[in-house]
Amino acid sequence: MNTPDHISGRPSLEPGSPAAAGGNARYDVFLSHNSRDKPSIARIATRLRGIGLEPWLDAWHLTLGGRWQEEIAAGLGLSSSCAVFLGPHGLGDWVREELALALDRAAKDHSFRLFVVLLPGVPEPFDPTTLPPFLSTRTWVDLRSGIDDSQALQRLVNAVRGVPLGAPDPVQSAPGVCPYRGLEVFEAEDAAFFFGRDADTQRLIEHLRHSRWLAVVGASGTGKSSLVRAGLLPALRAGRVPGSESWQIRLMRPGQRPLVELAASLESLAGAEQRGMQATLDALRTDQRSLDLALALVSAGRPADARIVLVVDQFEEVFTLCDDETERQAFFDNLLYAARVPGGRCTVVVTMRADFYPRCSAYPDLAQQFSRDHYLVSPLGTDGLRAAIAEPAARVGLEFEAGLVATILDDVENEPGALPLLEHALLELWQQRAGQMLTLEAYRRVGGVSGALARRAELIYDRLDEPQREALRRTMLRLTQPGDGAEDTRRRSTMNELEGDVASAPDVQRVIQILVDARLLTVGGDSTGARTVDVAHEALIRGWPRLRGWIDADRAGLREHRRITEAAQEWERLGRDESALYRGARLATAEEWRSHYDTALNALEREFLNTSAARARQERRAARRRTRQIIAGLSLGLLLTTSLAVVALLQRESAQSSDQRALAASRYAFAQQLSERARALFSSDPELGLRLALEAVKIQANEISTQTLREALLRIPLASTLPDHGGVATPGALSRDGTRLALAREGGVDIWEPLTGQQIATLALPSDAPLMLEFSPDGRYLAIGAVGGGVILWDTANGTSRALTSSGAAISGLQFSADGRLLLSLHSTDGARLWHVADGAAATVIASDAQLGTLADADRLVITSDTLGNTSAWDAATGAHVARLPAEGGTLTGLLAAPGRAQVVLLTAFDPIRVWDVRSGTVLRPAGMLGELRAHDGAISADGKWLALAGRFGFTGVWDIETWTRVSAAPGGTLLTLRAYISETGDAAAVLASDGRIHLWSTDAPQTTAELLTPDWNIGNVTLNAAQQRIVITSLTGEVLLFSYAAIDAPSDQLRALAEARQPRALTMQERITYLHEGVGE
């Protein structure tokens, strides 16, 4: 309470009263506080007055018997700032009344400063969300170390005077110093010019007081990297976390090979030789403890609270640039272990674009860590933008022409991702300054915020000759990574890659230097010492229309080129090892691309493809030569054996049965050898492998030949790809009958017949990209969830579509009811919503955090789970709350309900499975042979009888929901599986293993299994269709594989029929002999 102790029962203060309207400031700061903290506040007021500041304190300025509410309002009106003191007793009711006045004043007067002051006794870490809403985003002054702490008091003085927290002394007039960074990131040495993010920096610092992991997440263009580099790191070096002034800090970007970059960071800490770095790299690949152990060794002899801060900037590169799933997983494992292990020395800070947040969900441990320890960077508000514009200029003595700051603010406010465009426009404005004056005329001349970047890029392009323009086009395309369901990103490249060949190198070098001088590109070095080039900011990719046109002209071609580039570099790094060459479908795809874009290849890429093609021709010739020899030899052997058997039968009829056994043995041997040869061909020539396997079964259908033919049928897809549709990183949706496959693309969604590759229907969408797709049970409707939270319902029967909601919180799930009448949409921070499918009307709105959700109890209940793992049940008809199950452990990774049942299965990354009966309130914890079941992903069959689980520790398999007994285990004893899938009837199940392979098995006959050799894909979705016995696998880049699993438990005669239905050319006896003498193919 901001009154003397004996004052109470005051009427409410009126923000609109005359006294509150202001006047000329007579006081530097109004001290708003709880009366229980008055002794401390009085001491603070005395010290402020002692250094020349005049505070308004109730005990000093209220008159006995006066109109105190008016005097308080007048005091606020006559103060330049307001300090709201928060102590261990909270704010108090009167402080809240005063705060209402202060907020009203701040809304009308932008020069009025309102901030929080933390007093001793406030718990650490401090949670700013406990403050009133309009105060929770503001900066605070930290006096928790004591009100006599001179450094802490100086921060309070700076806040009163309007000096940014931690800001250095102003730079005097410096005409040659540019205070703006353009597209380049703010580094620690640029902290003197970094403004507008004081509150965000405070919150990052507060987080690191209690946690060793921090993920800074935000949209592209919000300034995540600059916040960490120029905000957080200087604050750590200044000791804002106790002891942090002595912490060691290392920055890295994952790039194409994140473990190599991590090993290089460790080398720079330890000063190890290259041999030591290789040993570290090997350890990082095989043991998740390696990073922690290496940092413990570096920290030996240092104080126990000394940390090493590892900053992983541009964390999304692990998804966009790294294609090695094993390396990606090892990178995650090392970071997570080092940040979690008790007593560890490592603090991990990562920055990542928000549109890559869903990609983390494929890694349960990483997803849980991100969910618990992340900070969402919002776009700068008006005050932050004004500070970012005006304060850097003031530090070097620059002035803005009257009205210019307001004009810039009007141009940039409410424009998402505009911060880098603003910085570039300010850089151009500084270059066009008149003396020390920044003018409106110059601002308009450079094109303003929206046009300055494109104008600069076009001016450069116009000044180049034709060879240089072509060099610029190729360079910029190589520096761009086409987005897969997200915006396009930058891609760091070496100079050797960009220069291409000797003839074009001078033009490339000249263009790069021009772009570097314009601050559109940056140069640096990688872990090997090679010179690298990078786009200064992705805003250049978004904001230059000419570059956008080059990218949009052929996205699929650019993605294929990136794959070729990375494969060629890996081949070179491995000493041109033949095992790294392209083969099979990959080589065929690359050769098809090359037929159109050969001139885009550099020398290394061209040599890589030439060597791959030559090696493939050699392998085909050798394979066919060996096959001819084997078949001819076996054929002659069979003919000889058969002839001898005939002679024996004529001579010794009494030995007929013995001769038949000999003939059978000969056939067995021949079939076995053909089967072995077929298996050897599965990877290099699967079609020939199928022909040999079929021939082996025809000779003799024994256990070996039958299993070989089964594997051949399962390994060869019915369809290996669909026509290029510009797919994006969105899992596809397969209709329940398996006849329709929906795939997202940029600008719309297409529906295909998966077996024939024929496009059935297409729907154009606005700019909000599709994030998830879901078919109704009858396949008529397709629900589309967009990145921005919108939900669209498409009636594929008549082609009409309707937007159920156009915006909102991020979409986190879609599910149709069992009868298809209702659609459930989940919005991460905006609750769940039920929609009537027939007319698109909203049926029920549930105002709750809905990270996960499902329908249960014959669609009478909606079950949701929040970010903390608390689970709630809601009445689907009314939205009323029915029941709640508190969290046990971390965030849920799965929420499953069997159709028609009121039981819900709850899955987490580490904790045991719980089965919650919503109606009775009971909780079951099923147990297996190894104790309580633990799994992080699962799927329930449409008939509600079977549950497929994926996880660790031998629990992967299919379980009977009634009895909670495991009816089949996943094949191969896989220790770690990431996802589980099951068909509608439960006849087949599959899991996605950590090595990226799909393991498929029959639940009726678990011993009959298949390992689907998918390419090196980033799996998007897997769907099993019992009616057609198909499994459809989609990648996050829109590629599709369609397999039949009818062969998985079929007997030999059915296998022959399935194989012959694919119409392979059979091997005749004459062909066996002909192969030996005339050859096949080349």
Residue 169 pLDDT level (bands cut at 50, 70, 90):
low
The structural domain count of the chain equals 3
DSSP bridge pairs for 55? 29
Q: How far apart are CA 916 and CA 1006, in angstroms?
A: 29
Q: CB atoms < 10 A from the CB of 603, how many? A: 14
Residue 600 lies in a domain: yes
pLDDT at 229: 94
pLDDT at 456: 84
366 and 270 together in one domain? yes
Residue type for position 637: G
User: What does the pLDDT look like over 783-815, one tens digit per residue?
Assistant: 988 766 788 899 988 888 888 875 556 677 899
pTM higher than 0.85, yes or no? no
Residue 314 lies in a domain: yes
User: What does the pLDDT look like over 489-531, one tens digit per residue?
Assistant: 888 888 888 886 656 788 888 898 888 878 788 777 776 667 8
Residue 469 has pLDDT above 80, yes or no: yes
pLDDT at 17: 32
Q: Which of 693, 713, 733 is the last residue of a domain?
A: 713
216 and 349 together in one domain? yes
144 and 95 together in one domain? yes
Mean pLDDT, all residues of the chain: 79
User: Which segments of 473-553 are extended strands (E)?
Assistant: 480-481, 489-490, 493-494, 521-525, 531-535
pLDDT at 660: 63
Question: Omega into 686 within 30° of 0, i.e. cis?
Answer: no
Residues ≥6 apart with Cβ < 8 Å to 1000: 714, 988, 989, 990, 1009, 1010, 1011, 1012, 1031, 1045, 1048
Residue 1013 has pLDDT above 80, yes or no: no
Report whether 792 contacts 771 (CB < 8 A): no
Find where tokens 């007579």 sit.
26
Q: CB atoms < 10 A from the CB of 937, how many? A: 24
661 and 605 together in one domain? yes
pLDDT at 1074: 37
Find where tokens 């050798």 sit.
622
User: CA geometry: angle at 216 spanning 213 and 222, to 5°?
Assistant: 170
User: What does the pLDDT look like over 963-972, one tens digit per residue?
Assistant: 888 887 776 5
Q: Which of 385-394, 568-577, 919-928 has the highest mean pLDDT?
A: 385-394
Residue 587 pLDDT level (bands cut at 50, 70, 90):
confident
Helix (H) or strand (E) holding 259: helix 258-270
Q: Which of 371, 354, 319 is nearest to 217 (CA)?
A: 354
CA 706 to chain centroid, in Å, comes to: 43
Residue 16 has pLDDT above 60, yes or no: no
Residue 234 lies in a domain: yes
Round to the nearest angstrom and report the end-to-end CA distance of the chain: 93
677 and 559 together in one domain? yes
At 53, list the tokens: 């500041």
Residue 940 lies in a domain: no
Q: What is the CATH number of the domain that holds 321?
A: 3.40.50.300
Q: What is the CATH number of the domain that holds 138?
A: 3.40.50.10140
Residue 1007 pLDDT level (bands cut at 50, 70, 90):
low
Q: Which of 660, 495, 726, 623 is nearest to 1082 (CA)?
A: 623
Residue 213 has pLDDT above 90, yes or no: yes
- Per-residue DSSP letters for 966-1012? EEEEPGGG-S-EEEEEE-TTSSEEEEEETTS-EEEEESSSTT-EEEE
Q: Which of 377, 395, 411 is the last residue of a domain?
A: 377
User: What does the pLDDT look like over 760-782, one tens digit per residue?
Assistant: 888 887 656 677 889 998 889 99
Find where tokens 């007039």 sit.
173
Strand ranges of the sheet holding 1030-1035, from the earlier edge strand across to the other edge: 1019-1025, 1030-1035, 1040-1044
pLDDT at 226: 93
126 and 204 together in one domain? no
Residue predicted with more confidence, 930 or 1040: 1040
Residue 638 has pLDDT above 90, yes or no: no
User: What does the pLDDT look like over 49-79, one tens digit per residue?
Assistant: 988 899 999 888 887 777 778 888 888 889 9
- Per-residue DSSP letters for 714-765? HHS-SB-------B-S---EE-TTSS-EEEEETTEEEEEETTTTEEEEEEE-
Q: How far apart are CA 730 and CA 487, in angstroms?
A: 13
DSSP 90: B
216 and 329 together in one domain? yes
569 and 627 together in one domain? yes
Residue 405 lies in a domain: no
Residue 962 pLDDT level (bands cut at 50, 70, 90):
confident
User: What does the pLDDT look like over 336-374, one tens digit per residue?
Assistant: 999 999 889 899 999 998 878 878 888 888 888 888 888
Inter-axis angle of helices 505-517 and 466-478, to 10 degrees? 70
709 and 588 together in one domain? yes
Q: Which of 325, 352, 377 is the last residue of a domain?
A: 377
140 and 202 together in one domain? no
Residue 626 lies in a domain: yes
270 and 372 together in one domain? yes
Residue predicted with more confidence, 172 or 918: 918
Q: Which of 90-94, 229-233, 437-441, 865-869 has the highest mean pLDDT?
A: 229-233
pLDDT at 2: 42
Residue 840 lies in a domain: no
| 3 state SS of 85 | strand
pLDDT at 7: 31
Residue 1071 lies in a domain: no
pLDDT at 334: 94
Domain containing 345 equals 197-377
132 and 227 together in one domain? no
